[in-house]
Structure 1
Amino acid sequence: MIELKEVSFSYPSSAGSRRPVFQELNLRIPRGRYAAMMGPNGSGKTTLGKLVKGLLSPSSGEVRIDGRPLQAGEVSPRVGYIFSNPENQIVSSIVEEDVAFGLGNRGMAPGRMSARVEESLRMVGMAEYRTHSPHLLSGGQQQKVVIAGILAMECEVLVLDEPTSMVDLRDRREILDLFQRLHEDQGITLLHITHSFEEALQAKDFIYLENGRVSFLGPPEGFLASAPFAGGSNLQIPPLYQLIQGLRKRGHVIPPEVRSYAELKTFLLERGKAPRS
């Protein structure tokens, strides 16, 4: 579980004063949940993610991971952090050595380390690349190597800071599918920071940050009917949800569980609202 209790944080400004980002922020993400977080530029999304990992410490308040408070300056080993640019997290010239890097720092026995690396690479679909140079891989493959390294450390929480922003469309879909599998099969808690509402729809919980506070917390679909969205969030709504909104305005009751064109077609066919093709 991720929990922020009365958390305040500010950055120093050039004038010597402090620029507040959060003031007494409260947020709770239950263990094993998949939460997406969006908000305008400068709303504090990355700052919040770094507070959860322990890369930043709050000026007041408390950050807890599964009930345990992070101490000032403590980087949580239970939280993995994935940045947008995978090259910034690759430290070795061979894939399997990069995945093993964190385990080596923990002093893990070689035999156990090798097994852990092999399993982690298998989980992300990169086992056949274990002896390759990560610097010759595509951006999506590099991101999978980074994810494998974090999985090898058996992190229980993953902070995903725009992890698909520097990969192509095919790799993006594969990485998003991978996150979904990790959530469903491994029970890993995910905090996914994104600028894409389409990506956010993959999550069960949706957080919208605005002016240093959580202005919405609930299912992604619920945000479309919320005050923050109606007030002008500048979000680009995917065509699917434009279609669903149009159907709802015409009186069709479309349940929030419908999240794809295939699911929408199946629902409408079952309700007798669309012809079979």
Structure 2
Amino acid sequence: MRIGFIDSGVGGLSIVEAVRAVVPADYFYLMDNRYLPYGTKSELFIRQRLKQLTEHLLTHQVDLIVIACNTATTQAVDWLRQQFDLPFVGVVPAIKPAALYCAGEKMALLATPATVKGHYIQKLVTDYAGESQVQLVGSSELVMLAEKKVWANADVKAEVATVIKNSGLTEFAPKAIILGCTHFPFLAEEIRSAFTEAPKLFDTADAIARRVQHLVAGLTSIYKEKSQDCFIATQELTEQQKRRVTQMRFGQQNCWPDLYQD
């Protein structure tokens, strides 16, 4: 079984970790770092770009693709399902379980600017969190701080606390925060420490892993031979990043030349 993942950066690795724990497979992680972060891009760009990335993963004969990015999921996954004849799994913010936990109390969605502005999120909030006071916060800065932490093992606690404070979330004091970007679980400790009374954090990694597990059970793999997990970047990695990729248990890594014309 071969499973592909797409994200603009390292955020999708939080999903890979959860899926690896329950699904034995060969993993192909396609990191579109040439266009990091997706949260600042248009819907048209994201759709066209993900179509191209999907086509590249299909050259590796993947059986299923996880769009391991909330922004890309909300803007493109339904469209991708119409373009390709293979299963796609998207990542949607955990608004429903957070609303059940809050039971009408204050909650917040922390995501990218593109995600919080989307109609999809507004509908989820209306459908499931109508009784709660919900604050939506879009931050590309947190995406880059997660990248900094994962690649360089940097201490970003003070910078995360500043972002959270400037967003108004500490003053808002929500009972729960939905991590609506796959980068943000890497900052869970820093986000909690930004509050005097830490809110409960919700993400969807385990739910996505269960969904992939369910779908894989009904698939017949088109590629039978075992392969090493492969990490593919769209812009050349630094030597430090290459060493980090090896530590993440990817036996292969390569750079796929970017073909998109701005």
TM-score (normalised: structure 1): 0.27
TM-score (normalised: structure 2): 0.28
Rg larger in structure: 1
Higher strand share: 1
* Highest RCO, 1 vs 2 (Cα 8 Å, sep ≥ 6): 2
Higher helix share: 2
